[in-house]
Chains A and B, each alone.
Chain A
Amino acid sequence: MISFFTSHFATLRLEFWALLVGGVANGLIYAMVAIGYTMVYGVLRLINFAHSEIFMSGGFGGLFVLRALVGNSTPSGMSSFVLVIVGIVSGALVGAILAALLERVAYRPLRRRNAPKLAYLISAIGASYFLFNMAGKEFGRYNLAVPQIFNDHPVFTIYGAPVQLYAIIVLIAGLIMLVVLDRIVATTRLGRSIRAVAQDAETASLMGVNIDRTIATTFILGGALGGAAGFLFGLGSGVVFTMGFTPALKAFTAAVLGGIGNLRGAVIGGLLLGLVESFSVAFVNGAYIDVVAFVILVLVLLVRPTGILGERLGRAA
C-alpha cells in the first residue's frame, strides 16, 4: 500500500511540470468549449447537446482550409505563424456558422411554439447525431491529421520539463480568445443585451432588446470559441467525426464545475478539470482517464450542483 503511493507520487514529482503544462493547455480547450455551454444556458436555460458537433466542425474547418493553403510545402517561421491564425479563424468561423444554423433550425421553431424544454433537448440530440454522422459520410470515418504547419519542438524547459510549441500556441490563443470574449460580454452593447436576456428575457424584450438576435449572437459567440477550440484540439490529436463527444462531455463538466451560466466559472472549471485529469495520469490507468471527468461530473452535480462560483445568470462577467 505504501509502496503504491510512493511510486505514484514519484511519477507525480518527476512529471509535475510537464503534467502542469499539459493540464493547463487541455484545460483552456475545455474552458473555450465550456463557455459555449454556459452562454447558451444563460440565455435559454438549456444544455446545448449539439455543442459537441460545433467543436467537431471547427476541427474539420481548420483542417480543410489549411490543407488547401499548405499543399505540399513545409511552412516555417512567419508563414507558420500566419497559418496557425488562419486555422484558428477558420475553425471559429465554421463553428460560428454552424451554431447560427443550429439555432435557426433546431431551436428557433421550438421557441416560436413555446415548446416544453424536453423537446429542445431531444431536438438538439437529434441535430448532434445528424451532424456528426453527416461529417462521417462526407469526410470519411477515420482520424485525419491536420497538415503540419509548424515544427512542434520543445521551446523551453521548466525545471527540466520541456514545453512544446503546441502547448504554447494553445495557451496564447486560448487566453487571448477568452479575454476578448470576456470583454465583449462585459463592456459592449451586445454583451449588455446578452446579460439582460440571461437575467430576465421578458423584461429585456420590454426594454427593447431583440431576443431573437441576442440568442442568435450568443450561439455565434459560443460557436466561434467552440470551433476554434476544435481546431486547436485537432491540431494535437487529429480530426475525426466523433471527436466532439468526449471533449464536449468534459467541457460540460467544466461548466458545471465552475457554476453553469457563469463565464469565469467556466474558465476556472475548465482549467481545474484539465489539471485534475492531467495529474490523475499518475494514479489512474490511461484507459480510464475519461472516467475521471465523468466521476467528477456526477460528484459535483450531487454535492454542489451550483458549482464553485455558483450559478450567476446574467451577471456573466
Chain B
Amino acid sequence: MRRVWDNPLVRRLMASMAIAVVVAVVTGPPGSSEKPSAGLSGSFAEKSSFFGLFQTRRFVVFVAFALLFWGAWSLWLAWGEMVKFRSTKLLRRPRAVTERRSIRWSAAIVLIVIGFLLPTFVHDPFWQTVMVEQIAIYVLLALGLNVVVGFAGLLDLGFVAFYAIGAYATAWVTGALPTPAPFGGPINPFFAIPIAIVMVMLAGIILGAPTLRLRGDYLAIVTLGFGEIIAIFANNLYGITGGATGTNQIPHFSIHLGPVKYLWGLAPVPYYYLALGFVVLFLVVFSLLEHSRVGRAWTAIREDEVAAESIGINPLKYKVMAFSIGAASSGFAGVMTAAQTNFVSPTSFGLLFSINILVLVIFGGMGSIKGVLIGAIAIQTMSMYLIHTPPAGYQPPDLYIYLGALLVVMMIFRPAGLFPSRRRKREIGLAEAGEGHMDEVLTGDVP
C-alpha cells in the first residue's frame, strides 16, 4: 500500500484529482444555508457539455479534466526542461529587440494611439462603462499600489482608504456632503482633482509617519485594519459623510472657459479620455521615478534597510514618500469615480477592494509598471466578461474566490508576476538562494 502512495505518478494523479474537485466546486452552482451540500452535489451531478461535444454529468467532465491535467503535468516534468530550453533559444532574438530603447518608445506610442482610438471600436455601452469604471480606474489604483508594494516593498492591504479619501474629498469640495463645502461654496470637480490629490498625499504622510516605522508584516495587518476603520467612520459619521447612504449629489466635470463650454455628462467616453490622459501622465511620472534616485533608494531600502541606512538613506522618509506618491493616483481615481457616478458611499470601499487591487499588481508583476498595466487590464477585462456573460452558477461575488486562488497560485509558481520587473525577479531568486536581506526588512529579524 505504501509503495503505491510513494509512486510520484500516483501522487500526481491524486493531486490532479484534488485540483479538479476544487475547480469543479468553485465553478459549480452555489449552495445555500438550507442545503449546504447542494453546491457540492450540484458541482458533480449537474448536466454539462463535455468540451462542447456532448451532454453529460459534470463529474465526467472533471474526471476527464483531471486526467488531462495529470497527463500534461507528467509530460511537462519529463520533457518540460527541453521545451523550455528550445523555446528560450527561439525567443532570444525578439527579447533582445524589446530592450532597445527606440523600439520601446514606439511601442508606447502605438499603445497610446490604440488607447485613444479604442472607444471608436467599442460601441457596447456595457464595455464603454467598463473601460472607465473598471479598467481605467483600476489601472490608476494598481499603478499607485505598485509604487507602495512594488517599488518600496511595503505590503499595504488598506490601499482602498486613499481611494475613499479621494472620493469623499471630491464630494466635500463640491458641496455634496452634509458638511458645508470649504472654499466658500461648491466648486467644479475639476478643481477637486488637485485638491483631492493633495489631500490624499497628506493623508499618506499622516498615516504613514507613525505606521511605516513598523516592520513589514505588522504594517500589512495594521493597514488591513485601517481600511476597515475608514469604512466604520464613513458609515457612522452621519453629519460629515452622510453615513451609510453617502451622497449622490456630486456634479459632473465641466469646463466654462469663456466661449468653451463642455459638460461631462452620463456618457462614459468623455470620461474615458480624461482618465486615459491621467493614466498616461501617471505612467510617465512613475516610470521616471522608478529610474531616478528616489527609485534606487526605494530599491536599496527594500533589499537591505540596514545597509541603506549606513549610507545615509533615511528609510522612514522614503517609505512615507512612497505611501504619499502611491496615494496620489488613487486619489485621482477617487475623484474620477465620484464625479462620474455622482455617488459615494462606504459600500464602494469594502473589505474586498484592496485585495482586488493587490491581485492586479501581483499578477502583472510587482515593481514592473508594464506588468501592472497589462495585468490590471487583463484581469479587469476577464472579471467584467464574467459579469457580462456569466457562466451557469456564477454570481458576481464569486470573483473573489478566483482572485484569492490566483494569489496563491502566483505565489507558488511565479511570485515575481507574469511580466516581472528584472530587479524583483532577481531579488526573489536571491532570497530563495539564501542571499540578500529582504526578509529582515519584513520581519525585523536580525540574524
Segment of B120-128, B130-138, B217-225 engaged in the interface with chain A: B217-225
Interface residues in chain B, defined as those with a beta carbon under 8 Å from any beta carbon in chain A: 25-26, 30-33, 36, 39-40, 153, 155, 157, 210-211, 213-214, 216-218, 220-222, 224-226, 228-229, 232-233, 235-236, 351-352, 355, 358-359, 362, 395, 397-398, 400-401, 403-408, 410-412, 415, 427-428, 431-434, 438-439, 442-443, 445
Known: A128-B404, A133-B404. A115 touches B355 (CB 8 A): no
Interface string of A107-134 (1 = CB under 8 A from B): 0011001111111111101111111011
By a CB distance below 8 angstroms, the chain B residues around A118 are: 153, 155, 216, 438, 442
Nearest-neighbour CB distance to chain A for B117, whole angstroms, equals 36
Nearest-neighbour CB distance to chain A for B409, whole angstroms, equals 8
Known: A116-B439, A117-B443, A140-B33. A126 touches B405 (CB 8 A): yes
By a CB distance below 8 angstroms, the chain B residues around A129 are: 352, 355, 400-401, 403-404, 407
Residue in chain B with minimal CB distance to A126: B407
> CA A144 – CA B32 in complex, angstroms?
11
Partner of A249, one of B32, B225, B397, B433: B225
Partner of A134, one of B26, B36, B410: B26
Partner of B217, one of A64, A105, A117, A123: A117
Nearest-neighbour CB distance to chain A for B356, whole angstroms, equals 9
Segment of A21-29, A148-156, A159-167, A295-303 engaged in the interface with chain B: A295-303
Which secondary structure characterizes the binding site on chain B?
helix
Known: A45-B445, A121-B220, A298-B210. A114 touches B434 (CB 8 A): yes
Asked if residues B411 and A122 are in contact (CB atoms below 8 Å), the reply is: yes
Asked if residues A64 and B405 are in contact (CB atoms below 8 Å), the reply is: no
Give 20 A-B contacts (CB < 8 Å), ordered by A residue.
A113-B432, A114-B432, A115-B428, A115-B432, A116-B415, A116-B428, A117-B443, A118-B155, A119-B428, A120-B411, A126-B359, A126-B406, A126-B407, A130-B404, A133-B401, A137-B395, A142-B33, A256-B218, A290-B232, A291-B229
Asked if residues B404 and A115 are in contact (CB atoms below 8 Å), the reply is: no
Nearest-neighbour CB distance to chain B for A197, whole angstroms, equals 15
Nearest-neighbour CB distance to chain B for A4, whole angstroms, equals 19
A: number of interface residues (CB 8 Å): 55
Asked if residues A133 and B400 are in contact (CB atoms below 8 Å), the reply is: yes
Partner of A110, one of B359, B395, B406, B411: B411
By a CB distance below 8 angstroms, the chain B residues around A302 are: 210, 213-214
By a CB distance below 8 angstroms, the chain A residues around B432 are: 113-116
Known: A129-B400, A140-B33. A110 touches B412 (CB 8 A): yes
Interface string of A50-69 (1 = CB under 8 A from B): 00000000001000100000
Known: A287-B236, A298-B210. A125 touches B355 (CB 8 A): yes
Residue in chain A with minimal CB distance to B438: A116
Interface string of A87-114 (1 = CB under 8 A from B): 0000000000000000001100110011
Residue in chain B with minimal CB distance to A137: B30
Asked if residues B214 and A301 are in contact (CB atoms below 8 Å), the reply is: yes
Partner of A138, one of B40, B226, B403, B431: B40
Q: Is A9 an interface residue (CB 8 A)?
A: no
By a CB distance below 8 angstroms, the chain B residues around A122 are: 155, 358, 362, 407, 410-411, 415
Q: Is A16 an interface residue (CB 8 A)?
A: no
Interface residues in chain A, defined as those with a beta carbon under 8 Å from any beta carbon in chain B: 45-47, 49, 60, 64, 105-106, 109-110, 113-123, 125-131, 133-134, 136-142, 144, 242, 245-246, 249, 252, 256, 285, 287-288, 290-291, 294, 297-298, 301-302, 305
Please give me the 7 A-B residue pairs with the lowest Cβ-Cβ distance, nearest first. Answer: A126-B407, A129-B404, A130-B404, A123-B411, A116-B431, A138-B31, A133-B400
**How many pairs, one residue from A and one from B, have CB atoms within 8 Å of each other in the complex?**
171
Q: Tell me which of A106, A126, A131 has the highest count of chain B C-beta atoms within 10 A of its own C-beta.
A: A126
Asked if residues B351 and A242 are in contact (CB atoms below 8 Å), the reply is: yes
By a CB distance below 8 angstroms, the chain A residues around B434 are: 114
> CA A115 – CA B25 in complex, angstroms?
29
> CA A109 – CA B412 in complex, angstroms?
6
Residue in chain A with minimal CB distance to B210: A302
Nearest-neighbour CB distance to chain A for B44, whole angstroms, equals 14
| Besides A109-B412, A123-B411, A139-B32, 9 other A-B contacts (C-beta < 8 A) | A47-B220, A116-B431, A117-B438, A120-B411, A127-B404, A133-B400, A287-B235, A301-B214, A305-B218
By a CB distance below 8 angstroms, the chain A residues around B427 are: 116
Nearest-neighbour CB distance to chain B for A191, whole angstroms, equals 23
> CA A133 – CA B39 in complex, angstroms?
13
Partner of A105, one of B406, B408, B410: B408
Known: A47-B221, A297-B222. A245 touches B351 (CB 8 A): yes
Q: Tell me which of A116, A139, A290, A305 has the highest count of chain B C-beta atoms within 10 A of its own C-beta.
A: A116
> CA A36 – CA B427 in complex, angstroms?
31
By a CB distance below 8 angstroms, the chain B residues around A137 are: 30-31, 39, 395, 397-398, 401
Asked if residues B411 and A119 are in contact (CB atoms below 8 Å), the reply is: yes
Asked if residues A291 and B222 are in contact (CB atoms below 8 Å), the reply is: no
> CA A109 – CA B405 in complex, angstroms?
14
By a CB distance below 8 angstroms, the chain A residues around B355 are: 125, 129
Nearest-neighbour CB distance to chain A for B405, whole angstroms, equals 5
Nearest-neighbour CB distance to chain B for A231, whole angstroms, equals 16
Q: Tell me which of A46, A47, A60, A125 has the highest count of chain B C-beta atoms within 10 A of its own C-beta.
A: A125
> CA A301 – CA B410 in complex, angstroms?
30
Partner of B225, one of A120, A128, A138, A294: A294
Partner of B228, one of A127, A142, A290: A290
> CA A90 – CA B25 in complex, angstroms?
22
Residue in chain A with minimal CB distance to B236: A287
Asked if residues A46 and B404 are in contact (CB atoms below 8 Å), the reply is: no
Nearest-neighbour CB distance to chain A for B15, whole angstroms, equals 10
By a CB distance below 8 angstroms, the chain B residues around A138 are: 25, 30-31, 36, 39-40
By a CB distance below 8 angstroms, the chain B residues around A60 are: 36
Asked if residues B211 and A139 are in contact (CB atoms below 8 Å), the reply is: no
By a CB distance below 8 angstroms, the chain B residues around A46 are: 217, 443
By a CB distance below 8 angstroms, the chain A residues around B233 are: 291
> CA A252 – CA B220 in complex, angstroms?
12
Partner of A140, one of B31, B410, B412: B31
Asked if residues B397 and A119 are in contact (CB atoms below 8 Å), the reply is: no
Asked if residues B431 and A115 are in contact (CB atoms below 8 Å), the reply is: yes
Nearest-neighbour CB distance to chain B for A311, whole angstroms, equals 10
